[in-house]
Structure 1
Amino acid sequence: MNHLTNSDKPLYLQIKALLEDQIVNDQLKEGMQAPSTNQLVKFYGLNHVTVAKGVNMLVDENILFKKRGIGMFVSEGAKEKLLYSRKLDFVDKYVLKMVEEANRLGISEQEIIQYVKEIKKGEL
């Protein structure tokens, strides 16, 4: 497990993000049992209510589901949902602002694409 380090985010959102990262990175796969609330409480030394709030958000979003008496499990399609959501967030946070600034600077679509290719290759 990763350690919680993002102090500007509430702890319950850090727990939520941690579990999401584990799903996206295939550490937790569809159908696999997720760490229990009690395990997360013990590992991170957090309040049970704080951990439960983050986990329950994932249940509400159908990323995790509960099997009564057994635990939490990763829902079918969870990784795809998370990737889709993160891609939309990426476009909103980065691409939209980049395109707006490129328009202000008169940078063409082809130039943007070339810059991105160069950066991905490590040439820029």
Structure 2
Amino acid sequence: TDTSECRELVGHESTVYSIAYSQDGITLVSASADHTCRLWNVANGTELRIFRGATAGVFSIVFSPNDGTVFASVGNDSTIRIWHACTGSCIREIIGTSIAEDTELDRDMLAYSP
């Protein structure tokens, strides 16, 4: 894969807060203030899937280190969602009561435990 080329991924309708590459580097997922996550083909910039369900902006995403087909997202609706990248289905929702006041710190705090 040639990494020297800059590619613009067009699709989100608002600010993109976070991106995460799959383990194989073939796809990446982006999180946005438009309440969606989107899966992209890195090589050609094609949008592969839109993940809807958040009721507020999504600000952090991370792929599972064990399985490149599953990722987690969290946003301002205080909900962590576990997504299956291939099917687009939400596997699980973990509903919280609030998000930390300091979102600059909170934004990058989503992580998987091996």
Kindly indicate which of the two structures has a greater share of residues assigned to strand. Answer: 2
Quick check: TM above 0.5?
A: no
Kindly indicate which of the two structures has a greater share of residues assigned to helix. Answer: 1
Please tell me whether Structure 1 or Structure 2 has the larger radius of gyration of its CA atoms. 1
Q: What's the TM-score, normalizing by structure 1?
A: 0.27
